[in-house]
Amino acid sequence: MTPVQIQSVENPLTRAAIFIVVTVKPDAASLETVRGLFGNMGSLLRGVGFRNPDDSLTCVTGIGSDLWDRLGQPQRPAGLHPFRAIHGVHDAPSTPGDILFHIRAQGRDFCFELATQIMRQLGDAVEVQDETQGFKFFDNRDLLGFVDGTENPQGIALGASVLIGDEDPAFRGGSYVITQKYIHDLTKWDALTVEDQERVIGRHKLSDIEYPDSEKAPYAHNVLTSINDAEGNQLQILRDNMPFGRPAAAEFGTYFIGYACEPARTERMLDNMFIGDPPGNYDRILDVSTPVTGSLFFVPSMTLLEALADPPEPAPAGTADDTADDHAQADDTAAPADGSLRIGSLKQET
């Protein structure tokens, strides 16, 4: 079977990032402009990144549920749906988003240049819903002072946690990503003692060592975001969070971005945080951190992303029922018209 080139979801954390979320205007010309960008993403990455390969420039492109429908593909990723707002002790909003660009590099200049080229090509075909520029803060700490991403999966567990596999063979090598932009009340946070802050997070602030399970508060962040499947196996996600802020405007925050092979595990973690497990036992970090955005995206393989540049061919007359039946059964022996979903081994995009 034809190998598939995956997007750079698994790449290591970098010192800089730009997160851009846009919606696509409803006219046909705007959709064609977006298709053109999808087909040109690899070229843009190479054109900007060649200046210094050591800067590790990458861009992960995610597609929202509404835009996927507009693209008219014959099949749909099993887990793709709009971000579900959460109403609990604290609320998590659902905000518009058709495309996510997660741009990463060691230098902010490379992030800036790639973002400029992407937005120049899109022109007025899109409306920007959010642009956030992130940076690495000291030794991978967030602006609350704690190391972020300590429990990210490593090695074989990373691919198993992040990449879609045989459970949805038409989209093997893809991923799902949920993003939320949190604003911190640092005055309120800094009024807590270090010991109280550590109880909220569930680990020591200076050393980054976890509290023993017997000493963790039931509402600790690392208790509520640690989940298992029915067999007791831990379900992990990849967090690539970044601090952001504008000190002169007293704006301080964390851009949460979590990749997973299925969105349900990230959604379960968020339910635990906002509603509580059991209900009412919510994550106390939310007393000082407020989400202002919330979106869910499917991350296609690079092979599929570039194939989306071409509209799908219409089904031959008289085969509509057969096509619908094939879609409902999700038969991995059925080949789409463009041939792009016949996926075999995985190849990392560079």
**Cβ neighbourhood burial of 154 (10 Å; 0-12, 13-18, 19+):** exposed
List the catalytic residue out of 55, 130, 142, 148. Answer: 148
Comparing C-alpha atoms, which of 24, 8, 91, 99 is closest to residue 56? Answer: 8
Q: Is 92 helix (H, G, I), strand (E, B) or coil?
A: strand
In sequence order, the 6+-apart residues with CB closer than 8 A to the CB of 297 are 62, 63, 64, 97, 99, 100, 176, 177, 178, 179
- Cβ atoms within 10 A of the Cβ of 52, count? 14
CA atoms within 13 A of residue 217's CA, in its CB half-sphere:
18
CA atoms within 13 A of residue 336's CA, in its CB half-sphere:
24
Contact 308, 35 (CB under 8 A): yes
Q: How far apart are CA 22 and CA 132, in angstroms?
A: 12
Catalytic residue flag (residue 326): no
The residues that are catalytic are 148
